[in-house]
Amino acid sequence: MRLTLSSKGVVLLAVPTAAQLFLAGMVFWTQRAHVGAEQWAAHSKEVLSQTHVVLADAEAVVAATRLYAAAGAGSGVPAESAGNDLRADLDRLEFLVSDNPGQSEHVRAAQSAADALVARRDAVVRAAGDGNGDRAVRLAAAAGSTADLAQVRSVLVTFAREEERLDRDRAEGLKAAGRWVDRVLVGGAAVSFLLTAGVWVVFHRGISRRFAALVNNTRRLAAGQPLAAPLSGTDEIADLDRAFRATAAELTRAADRLRESADQIQDLYDHAPCGYHSVDPDGTIVAMNQTELRWLGRPADQVMGRSKFVDAVSPASRETYWATFARMVETGAASDVELEVLRADGTTFPVLLNSTAVRDPDGRFVRSRSILTDLTERKRAEDEVRRLNTDLEVRVRDRTADLAEANRTLAARNEENELFVYSVSHDLRSPLVNLQGFSQELRLTFGDLRDVLTAPDVPAGVRDRAAGLLDRDADESLRFILAGVMRLSGIIDALLRLSRVGRVEYQCRWVDVGAAVGRIVGSLHKTVADKGAEVAVGPLPPAWGDATAVEQVFANLIGNALNYLDPVRPGRIEVGVVPSPGGRTGSRTSSGTTAWASRRRTSTRSSRRSSGSTRTSRPARGWAWRSSAGSPTATAGGSGSSPRRGPGVRFS
């Protein structure tokens, strides 16, 4: 059962209280018994006294009766009133012994005898009143009167003896009650003392001594000593001891953590990669970490509290330091001040000083918080950067001169190439012009021949044969010659532009792609016929771009398609437009040898073609063009393909 302090307190108070109540009850009972014994003793005395009164009254009645009979009625003897008190005293005596049936019986017997005496008195008084004195005397002297008095006396003597016995018994009871009272008082005092001593012992052991143990544990905890053994029990003191021990354990852990944190902070302060120090208003060093002490090469006992920081500053930087110190004291901070600091061996090294002021509640300067950063490596790095910059400037000048010389050489070579290409293109253009002129002459000549053939004197067989040659072969050949001339003219123009690459921009305009493709297909008619291929040109929208570049795109695509057709089966080349998200994409599809190509940002690609067991690798020039929102744009250098083994490939 768990006894709390309140329960123990109730027990400690209840036990002596119960004992005191018991003792009080015993004292009250014995006192009451003693009082009762005293009352019964007094009652016995009163009964005995009343018995004597009654006996005296009876004797007085007998004496008054005899005297009245002898003296006569006129003598003045109060015989009539002599028996009046006897009845009242007997009633009083009967009342006093009403709790004792035996005594009450004796009183009633005495009352009967007393009634007889009173009756004889009354008879004597009547006889004397009637003048019969003799009769009165005889009645008064009769033996009956003496017998009645003896009866009363006998009864009262027996009654008195019994009452005396009761008186002795009650006196002895009174003494016994007195002895009980004494015993109870002495015993109560002894029990009270013992209970008080027991309560004190229990309180001392169960409460006071355990509280003393708690107080001792608090002193041990404050002194950092181990705690005493845990207190036993289930009351609040034991709970308090357990709670105190848990708190002490937590405080110990917190103290350990705090000590560890303090050690870490101190370690961080002492071994930080920068120097820390504090100076008082006189500039005397009051704190400095190990890093700065190591930089200065001085022990702590020679620095802190004994020297001023200005003593560790080189003479060249002392004026700057004092100005910085005054500004820090006045404004509360000074930052990014470069100084030179002296080591113990006399050497110096550059540092960067940052300081803040610590003030008291009245605003007076107390000490500084200063950080020193070693600038040795930074200065060395800055010197190295300056050296490298100088070397770089020299190299840049040399390289600039080399590049200028190379540019001059390249410009001279470009000029030579341009002159060469110009000369070649000029030399090619002259026979091309002649070829074009003679082609026109041939066309005129073909016209004249048709006119000649229409003459009536020409035989019909000759006319038909010649007309067939002119209509079928001559015109077609002439058309192919003119298309080749136009294409060769474009190639010459491309060579001229190539000679001016980097200086000439594309001339973008709307290009009739259909017409350009038609010219290309026309110029390749002979090749298409020799390959047994079919070229189908669909509707093509105009494109925004350089006309020559667009024409070269399709010339390369169609030419490559013809060059790499599968010779064992007829080929079909389709040029058209397929829709794509956001615009339209030009498409050229060929069937024949499988071709693989990937989208690139270059104008020249290498494509592998395979036919049967033969594989060839040739350069293929690719172009692609797109139209978006109704504005097609030709772009040099990009193409896409959808290769399929067997049937061919589609370029877009």
Confidence of residue 162 (pLDDT cuts 50, 70, 90): confident
- Choosing from 374, 409, 436, the residue where a domain stops is 374
Asked if 328 and 341 sit in the same domain, the reply is: yes
Q: Express each pLDDT in 408-454 by its tens digit.
A: 888 888 777 777 776 766 677 667 777 777 777 777 887 777 777 77
Q: What is the mean pLDDT of residues 59-68?
A: 67
Q: How far apart, in whole angstroms, are the C-alpha atoms of residue 136 and residue 243? A: 111
pLDDT of residue 189 exceeding 60, the answer is yes
Q: What is the mean pLDDT of residues 241-253?
A: 84
Other beta carbons within 10 angstroms of residue 313's beta carbon come to 21
Q: What is the mean pLDDT of residues 290-313?
A: 90
Q: How far apart, in whole angstroms, are the C-alpha atoms of residue 257 and residue 263? A: 10
Mean pLDDT of the chain: 74
Q: Does residue 608 belong to any structural domain of this protein?
A: yes
pLDDT of residue 632 exceeding 50, the answer is no
Asked if 368 and 405 sit in the same domain, the reply is: no
CATH no. for residue 296?
3.30.450.20
Strand partners, 585: 578, 626
- Choosing from 452, 480, 503, the residue where a domain stops is 503
Could you tell me which of 148, 498, 337 has the C-alpha nearest to residue 139? 148
Give the side-chain half-sphere CA count within 13 A for 548: 16
Asked if 354 and 394 sit in the same domain, the reply is: no
Asked if 165 and 109 sit in the same domain, the reply is: yes
Note the pLDDT of residue 627: 40
Q: Does residue 5 belong to any structural domain of this protein?
A: no
Percent of the chain's residues with pLDDT above 70: 72
Query: Which residue has tokens 């008291």?
Result: 360
The two counts, helices (H) then strands (E), for the chain are 15, 17
Confidence of residue 492 (pLDDT cuts 50, 70, 90): confident
Asked if 323 and 457 sit in the same domain, the reply is: no
Q: 124: which residues sit within 8 A by CB, 6+ positions away?
A: 65, 68, 69, 79, 136, 139, 140
Asked if 399 and 512 sit in the same domain, the reply is: no
CATH no. for residue 526?
3.30.565
Q: How far apart, in whole angstroms, are the C-alpha atoms of residue 28 and residue 535? A: 146
Q: How far apart, in whole angstroms, are the C-alpha atoms of residue 581 and residue 589? A: 20
Q: What is the mean pLDDT of residues 337-361?
A: 92
Contact 503, 489 (CB under 8 A): no
Q: Does residue 593 belong to any structural domain of this protein?
A: yes
- Choosing from 348, 374, 400, the residue where a domain stops is 374
CATH no. for residue 75?
1.20.120
Asked if 453 and 523 sit in the same domain, the reply is: no
Q: Does residue 227 belong to any structural domain of this protein?
A: no
Q: Does residue 213 belong to any structural domain of this protein?
A: no
Contact 623, 639 (CB under 8 A): yes
Q: Does residue 624 belong to any structural domain of this protein?
A: yes
Q: Does residue 266 belong to any structural domain of this protein?
A: no
Q: Express each pLDDT in 73-98 by its tens digit.
A: 545 455 555 566 777 777 777 787 77
Asked if 317 and 402 sit in the same domain, the reply is: no
Range of the domain at 413: 378-503
Q: How far apart, in whole angstroms, are the C-alpha atoms of residue 585 and residue 479? A: 31
Asked if 366 and 385 sit in the same domain, the reply is: no
Confidence of residue 201 (pLDDT cuts 50, 70, 90): confident
Asked if 605 and 544 sit in the same domain, the reply is: yes
Q: What is the mean pLDDT of residues 185-213?
A: 74
Q: How far apart are the first and last CA of the chain?
A: 98
Q: What is the pTM of this model?
A: 0.35
Asked if 88 and 57 sit in the same domain, the reply is: yes
pLDDT of residue 617 exceeding 50, the answer is no
Asked if 547 and 638 sit in the same domain, the reply is: yes
Q: Does residue 10 belong to any structural domain of this protein?
A: no
Other beta carbons within 10 angstroms of residue 447's beta carbon come to 11
Domain count, the chain: 4
Query: Radius of gyration of the chain from Cα atoms?
Result: 78
